[in-house]
Structure 1
Amino acid sequence: MKYLVSIFIIMISLSINAQDIEKNGKLYQVKNERIFLDGKDVTDTLNLEEKTAIIKQSRLIAEKIELNEKAKKLEKNTEKAEKSQKIAEKKQKKAEKELKKRLKAQKQLDKTTKKLESSQKKYKKLKHKGKLSPQDETKWLKKIEKLNASLEKAKKKV
């Protein structure tokens, strides 16, 4: 693709210097309003009608080339804009995904905090009433310790 573009640009630059116009079976070259036939300047030998027709045709070709260049440039800019839009969309999706992940982590943190507080409250209530055996008390302490560990883990994720 790059090679085609560079070849196209070279061809355009060569054709801008001299326009080849075919009229009456002869190949004329037009350079800066001067008309050449086989490398010889024939601008003064041609009649006014032929001269204006050849120059007009040369201008039309130059305009076509210019329009083609503008179209290529516009197409390139459009492709660039589309690429930028895709990159922006990808960034947006990534940001949304990250936000969703953070919200989930925050929800997990809130849930773990609530569960820890509830367990601690229940443990204190049972201990205060004296309804805990030594085995139950170690179970409750292990449960609270696990919940503390889960809470620290959830805090790190947030």
Structure 2
Amino acid sequence: MKRFVLLLLLILTGSIVFAQEVKVNDNVYEIKKDLIFINDVDVTNTLSEEEKSKILAAFEQKKLDMAKAKLSKEKIDKAEKAQERAEKQQKKAEKKQKKAEKEMKQKVKAQTNYDKAIKTYEDATTKYEKLKKKGKLSPIDEEKWLEKIEKLNSKIEKTKAKLK
């Protein structure tokens, strides 16, 4: 929508610049170089010096207004470009932040999993030692416990690797 409005403004400004028409005292004058025309008829010599100066002054004022309009359009364009750059930078920063948050979440989860694996390993080792001390382990049970403890140890190694 903004681009459409700017394009329309540019077209209107361009048509005004090339027309070089000035309206003074309900008459529309067209200026070409130093000649003044009404309806494609040269009236430069028929106008008084005062009228000529009025028309040329109005023409110069119109040129100034158009220059100001062009300058303000350029400022608007620059401001829009700056705003677009700022929006892109903001989106980039938001994306970076989301990525950082995701990484932090993953690190926290990995730490939690690591802590859980260590606790499970320690609990299993403690229970195995108790049962072994009391002599309540058969050779098959002892083999199962050692296998379980080895699996828990490998789980610790895996979670530790994910921490890094």
Instruction: Pick the TM interval, shorter chain.
Output: 0.7 to 0.9
Structure 2, gaps ≥5 residues long: 37-43
Are positions 1:157 and 2:123 aligned together? no
Structure 1, gaps ≥5 residues long: 30-34
Could you tell me whether the CA contact under 8 Å between 1:116 and 1:148 is conserved in 2?
A: yes
Q: 1:37 & 1:152 partners in 2: Cα distance?
A: 93
Amino acid at match of 1:22: E
Task: Give the drift of 1:37.
Answer: 4.0
Are positions 1:146 and 2:146 aligned together? no
SS of residue paired to 1:47 = helix
Q: 1:37 & 1:58 partners in 2: Cα distance?
A: 16
Residue 22 of structure 1 is matched in structure 2 by 21
2:127 corresponds to which of 117, 122, 128: 122
Amino acid at match of 1:109: Y
Q: 1:50 & 1:26 partners in 2: Cα distance?
A: 8
Task: Give the drift of 1:68.
Answer: 0.8
Task: Give the drift of 1:122.
Answer: 1.0
Amino acid at match of 2:21: E
Task: Give the drift of 1:36.
Answer: 3.8
For these two proteins, the number of residue pairs brought into alignment is 136
Are positions 1:106 and 2:111 aligned together? yes
Amino acid at match of 2:94: E
Amino acid at match of 1:27: E
Q: 1:84 & 1:37 partners in 2: Cα distance?
A: 53
Q: 1:111 & 1:25 partners in 2: Cα distance?
A: 89
Amino acid at match of 2:87: E
Q: 1:64 & 1:79 partners in 2: Cα distance?
A: 22
Amino acid at match of 2:30: L
Could you tell me whether the CA contact under 8 Å between 1:21 and 1:28 is conserved in 2?
A: yes
Residue 82 of structure 1 is matched in structure 2 by 87
Task: Give the drift of 1:19.
Answer: 6.8
Q: 1:146 & 1:36 partners in 2: Cα distance?
A: 98
Task: Give the drift of 1:90.
Answer: 0.8
Could you tell me whether the CA contact under 8 Å between 1:112 and 1:150 is conserved in 2?
A: yes
Could you tell me whether the CA contact under 8 Å between 1:28 and 1:37 is conserved in 2?
A: yes
Residue 60 of structure 2 is matched in structure 1 by 55
Residue 73 of structure 1 is matched in structure 2 by 78
Q: Quick one: structure 1 residues 136 and 54, their matched pair in 2 at CA, closer, same or farther if it must change by over 3 Å?
A: same
Amino acid at match of 1:68: K
